[in-house]
């Protein structure tokens, strides 16, 4: 059973990936201080897998604390690094928080890996590294343009850190993860108020909010609202298993887009949620929001050819699972 350190493993994407790693025969070791998630996800993972999970309540930016984790765990095959702040809007308002944490945690992890002769790392990157792409769907050869937010810039810098390091790495450039595990036992437990579209939709649906504000309807898109590539979080989690399998057999530096390749506007996403769950969502149109790009969706041909991965779940399935997760939190 190959041990994998999973920083941020109690978070939204991390918790789903831990479940998939276990099902694939790996032994994930969670490192997460719960600064932006909840122990609910740890308990949820344990209910899904029907056993205890190894978890270190540790700050990933603390080198001495991380040294203890690696010393305790012994032989480790690789790491998957999720631990980072992730709200685009907050990063615009408080950039230093994002530089300190997102860069600092990767720096410490790479140092610990080097100290312990661990070579393989999967990095949780983002399509925000592309800025506003010139060509859609965007592929991995697109040049990085100026990031539209400090969050996006931290992902660009982190990918540069990986290229300069001696490790073998895969940067998975996520598009827009949504939904939850079919059990509704794990999901997005972010401590902050949600800033992403689908969690806000579900909060309106359940009555936590009166309405959703759509930020801008004057973009150069068919209905004037931003277009994104929404991927089911379970599909996304499975891409990490494929990436680790690949990296164990293939050295070097790699980057892959992880999306569906389908662009969906904000208004279209709201409509799909309504139709999938038979609920009406109140929304209003507001001004554009700082840090948002107009439209982006993935060219996924490389990840399919190299990792054998492609999205399987539909947008409707993702919206149903997102609603089931919201209802489970009552």
Instruction: Identify the H or E element spanning 215.
Output: strand 212-215
- The residue from 12, 98, 151, 174 that is catalytic is 151
Can 98 be counted among the known catalytic residues? no
**Interacting residues of 295 by C-beta distance below 8 A, sequence separation 6+:** 136, 219, 221, 226, 227, 228, 263
Q: Which residues of 172-208 are buried (b: 16+ CB within 10 A; e: fewer)?
A: bbbbbbbbbbeebbbbbbbeeebebbbbbbbbbbeee
Residues 79, 3 contacting (CB under 8 angstroms): no
Output the CA torsion sign for 31, 33, 34, 39. positive
Q: What is the DSSP string of 283-314?
A: EEEE---TT--SB--B--HHHHHHH-----S-
Largest CA distance in the chain: 55
Structure-token match 């493993």, residue found = 9
Q: Supply the residues annotated as catalytic.
A: 151
């Amino acid at each position: 059973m190959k041990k994998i350190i999973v920083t941020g493993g109690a978070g939204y994407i991390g918790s789903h990936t831990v479940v998939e790693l276990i099902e694939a025969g790996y032994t994930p070791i969670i490192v997460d201080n719960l600064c932006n998630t909840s122990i609910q996800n740890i308990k949820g993972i344990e209910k899904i897998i029907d056993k205890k999970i190894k978890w270190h309540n540790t700050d990933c930016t603390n080198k001495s604390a991380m040294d203890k984790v690696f010393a305790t765990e012994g032989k480790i095959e690789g790491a998957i690094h999720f631990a980072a702040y992730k709200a685009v809007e907050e990063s615009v308002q408080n950039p230093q928080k994002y530089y300190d944490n997102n860069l600092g945690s990767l720096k410490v992890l790479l140092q610990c890996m080097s100290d312990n002769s661990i070579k393989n790392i999967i990095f949780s990157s983002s399509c925000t590294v592309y800025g506003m792409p010139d060509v859609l769907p965007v592929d991995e050869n697109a040049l990085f343009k100026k990031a539209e937010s400090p969050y996006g810039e931290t992902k660009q810098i982190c990918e540069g850190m990986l290229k300069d390091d001696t490790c073998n790495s895969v940067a998975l450039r996520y598009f827009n993860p949504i939904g939850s595990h079919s059990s509704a036992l794990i999901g997005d437990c972010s401590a902050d108020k949600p800033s992403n579209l689908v969690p806000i939709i579900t909060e309106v649906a359940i009555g936590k909010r009166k309405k959703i504000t759509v930020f801008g309807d004057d973009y150069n898109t068919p209905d004037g609202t931003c277009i994104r590539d929404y991927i089911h979080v379970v599909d996304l989690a499975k891409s990490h298993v494929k990436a680790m399998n690949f990296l164990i057999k293939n050295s070097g530096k790699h980057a892959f887009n992880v999306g569906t390749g389908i662009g969906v506007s904000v208004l279209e996403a709201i409509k799909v949620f309504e139709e999938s769950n038979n609920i009406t969502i109140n929304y209003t149109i507001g001004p554009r929001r700082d840090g948002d790009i107009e439209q982006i969706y993935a060219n996924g041909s490389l990840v399919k050819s190299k990792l054998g991965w492609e999205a399987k779940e539909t947008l409707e399935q993702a919206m149903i699972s997102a609603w089931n997760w919201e209802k489970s939190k009552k």
